[in-house]
Amino acid sequence: MILLYFAFRKVNIINLGKELILVSPWATVGLLGYLGLVMVLGAWRWSLLALEKVRFGDVMAFAKATYVGSFYSLFFPTAVAGDLLKWTSLTKKYPQVHKLRLAGTALIDRLVGFTAFFLEALLALIIGKSLGYQFPGYLLWLFVGINCGLVVFYCLAYLVNFPVILKKNKYLSKLLELAELLRSGNKKRLLSCLAISVIAEPAWMVWSYFIAKLFGIPLTLIQIFIFMPVIALILVLPISFAGFGAREQLFLYFFGQLGIPVEKILVMSTFSGVLGIISSLIGGLLLWL
């Protein structure tokens, strides 16, 4: 609430609300549909990790679970909280798949997605700084450190035989089902998931470009690709519900340096948040189907 207050205190809330109301319903439906396609890409990646053979119906089932996860995330101060619960909606459809595998692959899927996102964020920072855009100095080193940590993780996943190690410990042996994902036979699968992430993450960022154009905001795709990875990763931190407040402040900080009026930045940010809530509420409806 404090972040929202400082973001909106200098703008006319009534005029901002009018601009949101004037948005075409078809534009809203189109943007939600596009976001749905991006979520299907993410569901495809998750299903490849969880199932031996993936069919179209499986991708749709995992997409439904992804929507359900976004609904759960509305009640937590971080968007990734839904990953801890979204797999539960799949247990009845896939009783043959161990629950630990469904839960574990949901987390590994998030890790694979973050791998592409952190790499893209690091590249965005480097390109942004070379073009003269302003970023906090610590962000570059933070993303360098995280990317180095991810490299270490994947090296260990490829070089260490986790199933053999876990079998020796009666407590850790329960994680054997999950460790099977890191065996040599699944390395191609992990690479396929990483390739999907490289496509899915930029596709998600294009969504913000469409919203900017909807309100006549002169943002280029390059500027979206430079700032959105950094904004999205900061929003993963547990600092706000549905991103409200934190998202507005981040939009103002990064896009404000481009000379875009404060009102335009806030209407873009608010509309993004509202669409995100509507999309999550769809997950709530699917939960009852």
Overall residue count recorded for the chain in this entry: 289
Per-residue model confidence (pLDDT) at position 175: 54
Rounded Cα distance, 192 and 196, in Å: 6
Which pLDDT does position 157 carry in this prediction?
Answer: 67
pLDDT at 278: 92
Closest listed residue to residue 274, CA positions, set 1, 37, 74, 72: 74
What local confidence, expressed as pLDDT, does residue 82 receive? Answer: 82
Domains held by the chain: number: 1
- CA-based Rg of the chain, rounded to a whole angstrom? 20
The predicted model scores a pTM of 0.84
Full domain range(s) for residue 46: 2-286
How many Cβ atoms sit within 10 Å of the Cβ of residue 288? Answer: 5
Structure tokens at 2: 């404090």
Distances (CA, A) of 57 to 6, 43, 64: 46, 11, 11
CA-closest candidate to residue 41, choices 218, 206, 282, 235 = 206
pLDDT at 288: 79
Q: What pLDDT score does 170 carry?
A: 54
The reported pLDDT for the residue numbered 190 is: 78
| CB-based contact 231:251 (threshold 8 Å) | yes
pLDDT score of 177: 55
pLDDT (0 to 100) of residue 136: 84
Residue 288 neighbours by CB under 8 Å, 6+ apart: none
* The pLDDT of residue 242: 67
Q: Rounded to an integer, what distance in angstroms lies between the CA atom of residue 159 and that of residue 161? A: 7
Distance CA 212, CA 260 (A): 11
Round to whole Å and give the CA distance between 105 and 186: 12
For the segment 76-96, what is each residue's pLDDT rounded down to a tens digit? 877 677 888 899 989 989 998
Residue in the block written with tokens 């609904």: 71
Look at residues 250, 230, 247 and name the one whose alpha carbon lies nearest to residue 126. Answer: 230
Query: For the chain, which residues score pLDDT lower than 70?
Result: 79, 157-186, 239-242
Contact 246, 239 (CB under 8 A): yes
pLDDT for 26: 94
